[in-house]
Structure 1
């Protein structure tokens, strides 16, 4: 009997937990060259947004993004589908619609047969079909670990463009997917995931964030982003500091998909938890024994984080209800008060 291939055994990291920490990334991206001057570039690297946006001059703009990582699940088809869904999400997080994707594929030819790689690409193709776009090409290399993702092109009406750095004080915060993906996938990699939990993370990661295109049409949505490798807490830490705002938020037990005591008895910590905590501690002033630690696990293909002005709540919730989402606010943004933490966990 042939032993099934476990994709997660061929990578040192998994999913969006592979991300480079923000402080390290700042060092890498620092440049001595003068900044690029391009009036048509509406969103570039300076805001650390989900994608770049270029104004076409006719009321429309093109969105360009790329995302790829190493296996987060063992099944190759599912890995490809999740990686592609995660990459496409960046277009939805800008309020846009994807129109085309090309694949990014690295494969350890000395360790894994090409037929397994074909299944990965096939999973990516399925995700593109779910989004209604073609997988139009790509690039592949022989690599020491399996890597897959997409470069995605999208379009958006410029008046519907959303960013992660434009929220306003007084906005409520909503999250469209539950938390807990990181701890479940870590449990799978350590071979301690319970059978009854095996599909929880997969179902969530394969769900498209296509509702983001509808959020883009709601003026009261003042900011939009997706929660991925930096976790919910890391996303708050980056954005509220950049916007000179403060945030209070809570995540009810019902908002998590991984609150199962049998998993936590194994003492599992995701690889980026410590790094993310250092980033959040600068804002929240806590320690590793505070509730903050529960909000730092990486999310792969996570939900959209929405900042919503109060006057648009009825319209927003109607769109969510039509999409089958029953959402409750998880927090709010406020003006910072001197001497208080920028992030308050409730």
Structure 2
């Protein structure tokens, strides 16, 4: 019996929003960052906030650049061990999304100490540590506070050769877009909250959200891979739009090629979606052109916030098979070509 059942604790009942669906809406975030004060940027800072990339990158020397990132959120599931695993996998993903190798993590922990049993909190931390062990890194410290809602995540640091950094802004016209994981995590988590998710659906969600995006390390070695990011809280459309804006290109997606997690289509058709989907569309919908055949349900799928989502790769057409083979070797059976980058005004187009 798991700890959550022993204590009759529903972790999701403590949080107003779970996983990457907690992110500040993209339009609001853009307004906040627009008002942030400028500061002289050292020449060693290779990647900062300019293109909303996955992590910061600082050049240490001619052979090494330091990757630094942080990610944390409220519970997306009720099982504390699974929550810890998901949050850790999500945080480490940002290092892989830059083409790097993680080397160390620090834990970020905020818990309602008077409401959650200490062994439940311990299970959350153990879940995170188990994923760090899979990634081959220690949890070397961290910071804890007593908070109203449970919050858990990591600061993660990694290393990459300066010439192999994979930014989200370097896509080229003619590149193919490959998505490493299927979509639908937000919808499955919404179904879980409504007690509408069966055991098979839960297992699929956990498998997807706890699969480390390790292919990112090897993708950095491929010259044909031009840009890389991971799909998280802003949904596939939001992160494809970041690629397009960063490169000054247009991303064209084919809805029929986008992989989905089991049950997601049916659940969305039943109206089980997240509030973050609507906030995402409100934040960037003006820069997205949907084909007339795209249904409201499909729009929700494309804006569905992904927690610990897949890598989105922009690569030369001649590198597609090599990239897909790399994903397959790492156990990402659903990786698929979903579109391409084209010349034109920055934005996203979606065909049926």
Q: TM-score range by the shorter chain?
A: over 0.9
Shift of 1:159: 1.3
What is aligned with 1:289?
A: 296
Matched with 1:320 is 327
Task: Specify which of 166, 169, 186 is matched with residue 190 of structure 2.
Answer: 186
Q: Say whether the 8 Å CA contact 1:292–1:345 is kept in structure 2.
A: no
For 1:61 and 1:120, the matched residues in 2 are separated by 31
Is the partner of 2:93 in helix, strand or coil?
helix
2:175 pairs with 1:171: yes
Calculate the TM-score normalised by the size of structure 1. 0.93
CA contact (8 A) 2:27 2:282 kept: no
For normalisation by structure 2, the TM-score amounts to 0.92
How far apart are the structure 2 equivalents of 1:60 and 1:250?
A: 38
SS in structure 1 of the partner of residue 143 of structure 2: strand
Residue 39 of structure 1: aligned partner: 43
- Structure 1 match to 2:199: 195
Alignment of 1:126 onto 2:130: yes
Give the whole-Å Cα distance in 2 for the aligned partners of 1:161 and 1:309: 17
Query: Cα gap change, 1:317/1:290 in structure 2, threshold over 3 Å: closer, same or farther?
Result: closer
For residue 345 of structure 1, the aligned residue among 329, 345, 351 is: 351
Partner of 2:94: 90
Aligned to 1:66, what secondary structure does the other structure show? Answer: strand
Q: What per-residue deviation string (whole Å, max 9, x for no partner) do you get for residues 215-256 of structure 1?
A: 011111000000000010111223313322112112437710
Secondary structure at the counterpart of residue 302 of structure 1: coil
Displacement of 1:188: 0.4
Q: Which residue of 1 aligns with 2:341?
A: 333
Counterparts in 2 of 1:55-134, with a 5 A limit?
A: 55-134=59-138
SS of residue matched to 1:72: coil
The Cα shift of 1:296 comes to: 0.5
Structure 1 residue 36 displacement after superposition = 2.2
Contact 2:87 2:128 survives alignment (8 Å): yes
Distance 1:233 1:197 in 2: 24
The answer to whether the 8 A contact 1:253-1:259 is kept is no
Most deviating of 21-30 and 94-103: 21-30
Deviation at residue 43 of structure 1 after TM alignment: 0.5
In structure 2, list runs of 5 or more residues that go unmatched. Answer: none
| Cα distance change, pair 196–336 in 1 and its aligned pair in 2 (3 A) | same
Shift of 1:193: 1.2
Structure 2 CA distance for partners of 1:288 and 1:125, relative to 1, 3 Å: same
Say if 1:273 and 1:296, in contact at 8 Å, map to a contact too.
Answer: yes
How much is the aligned-residue C-alpha RMSD, in angstroms? 2.1
Deviations 1:26-75 (A, max 9, x none): 22223464432200000011121100000012321000000000000110
Q: Distance in 2 between matches of 1:268 and 1:276?
A: 16
State the alpha-carbon separation in 2 of the partners of residues 341 and 300 from structure 1. 23
In 2, distance between residues paired with 1:249 and 1:265?
21
1-structure distance, mates of 2:332, 2:265 = 27
SS of 1:4's equivalent?
coil
**Alpha carbons 2:87, 2:153 under 8 Å: kept:** yes
Query: Which position in structure 2 is the counterpart of 1:136?
Result: 140
- Secondary structure (helix, strand or coil) at the match of 2:218 reads helix
